[in-house]
Amino acid sequence: MKTLLAFLYDELEFLYLNPRYTITDSSTDGNATVRITGPAVSFWLGNDRGQISYAVGRSCGQMSALEGASADRRFR
């Protein structure tokens, strides 16, 4: 979770400091995940053994039908 929060702060600080967005974590199977929900867009970030994944989708719907970008980034 520490690596995930560092990534969140380094890459998405502008959302972290914006009061219109909320940042929540969710219970998972042991992997760290964070969801950032705003008025129009939701971001999902995950850390699975050092591999950072993210997805972007509409806030009004579920993230199951992901739209926008997704990528992986490895931390050592």
Q: Is the pTM of this model over 0.75?
A: no
Task: Note the pLDDT tens digit of each residue in 6-32.
Answer: 777 787 777 767 788 776 665 655 667
Which residue range is the domain that position 22 belongs to? 2-74
> At 16, which helix (H) or strand (E)?
helix 2-16
Query: For the chain, what is the domain count?
Result: 1
Burial 34-68 (b: 16+ CB within 10 A, else e): bbbbeeebbbbbbbeeeebebbebeeeeebeeeee
**pLDDT tier at 71 (50, 70, 90 boundaries)?**
very low
Are the C-beta atoms of residues 26 and 50 closer than 8 Å to each other?
A: no
38's tokens: 């705003």
